[in-house]
């Protein structure tokens, strides 16, 4: 175990017991990086899409476990109340829930680690503001998973001396990142051509580029930060 142990907590989940240690470790800053990335969170089938066009999918084993959980839940619903079989089915559902939560957390750690190692600045949508936006409710960001991922990302970045910036998600899914043309697009349209400048865009990559542009001033050396709502400077070269 790393660091000096500050507290230890014993916790029970179903038939499993855990000891949780909180330790104090010295931050290990990574060498500074000028590289910045915008990330668009989860429109199916992707977990996230970056402004550089990288698409990260939830791992297959995770999707499989979720299908298994759905089956187990249906089976539980059919069992007679108070029966032994119902108790067994309930335990099975709880086991799968736990397995999925562990797999999800592990996946979140890996994705966050990769982003923090590579980029000096990571920009994402502010989930609190996002809750107000209709198109984002359709994306299913209410899933508690996003909050967990962003919390992991934030502390890993802090530990490494890297920067995470939250921006207002307003219009990020409507604007053309090349010319700024604003247009509402239905959620099922994945790729489209901008009617104003002719740019061929992937919807989620375009959103990630808009997210990055909301925080990035362009000239190097200047500290990137979130801009006030409605003022979205365009960075050259996107």
Contacts with Zn ion, residue ranges (CB under 5 A) = 176, 178-179, 181, 194, 196-197, 199
Is the CB of 101 or the CB of 238 nearer to Zn ion? 238
SS3 state at 45: coil
Among 13, 15, 24, 40, the one annotated catalytic = 40
The nearest distance, CB 48 to Zn ion, in angstroms, is 23
Is the CB of 87 or the CB of 190 nearer to Zn ion? 190
Pairing of strands 4-13, 163-167: unpaired
Q: How many angstroms separate the CA atoms of 206 and 177, rounded? A: 6
Is the CB of 117 or the CB of 196 nearer to Zn ion? 196
The nearest distance, CB 178 to Zn ion, in angstroms, is 4
Would you call 204 a catalytic residue per the annotation?
yes
Would you call 13 a catalytic residue per the annotation?
no
Q: How many angstroms separate the CA atoms of 152 and 108, rounded? A: 7
Among 2, 54, 125, 222, the one annotated catalytic = 125
The nearest distance, CB 209 to Zn ion, in angstroms, is 11
The nearest distance, CB 133 to Zn ion, in angstroms, is 22
Nearest residue to 41 (alpha-carbon basis) of 182, 171, 175, 143? 143
Would you call 106 a catalytic residue per the annotation?
no
Tokens of residue 44, six digits: 């199916």
Residue with tokens 């397995």: 99
Is the CB of 96 or the CB of 175 nearer to Zn ion? 175
Helices (H), the chain: 60-78, 84-118, 127-130, 134-138, 144-160, 203-215
Q: Provide the annotated active-site residues.
A: 40, 125, 204
């Amino acid at each position: 175990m790393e660091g000096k142990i500050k507290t230890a907590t014993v916790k029970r989940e179903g038939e499993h017991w855990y000891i949780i240690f909180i330790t104090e470790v010295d931050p290990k800053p990574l060498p500074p990086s000028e590289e910045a990335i915008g990330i668009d969170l989860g429109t199916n089938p992707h977990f996230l899409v970056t402004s550089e066009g990288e698409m990260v999918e939830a791992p297959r084993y995770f999707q499989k476990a979720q299908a298994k959980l759905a089956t187990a839940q249906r089976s539980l619903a059919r069992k007679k109340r108070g029966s032994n079989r119902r108790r067994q089915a309930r335990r099975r559902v709880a086991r799968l829930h736990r397995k999925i939560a562990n797999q999800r957390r592990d996946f979140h750690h890996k994705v966050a680690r990769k982003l923090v190692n590579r980029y000096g600045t990571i920009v994402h949508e502010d989930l609190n503001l996002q809750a107000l936006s209709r198109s984002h409710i359709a994306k299913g960001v209410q899933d508690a998973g996003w909050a967990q991922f962003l919390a992991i990302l934030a502390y890993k970045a802090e530990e490494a001396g890297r920067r995470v910036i939250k921006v207002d998600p307003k219009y990020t899914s409507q604007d053309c990142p090349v010319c700024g043309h604003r247009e509402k697009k239905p959620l099922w349209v994945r790729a489209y051509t901008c009617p104003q400048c002719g740019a061929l865009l992937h919807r989620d990559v375009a959103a990630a580029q808009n997210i990055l542009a909301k925080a990035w001033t362009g000239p190097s050396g200047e500290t990137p930060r979130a801009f006030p709502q409605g003022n979205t400077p365009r960075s050259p070269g996107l």
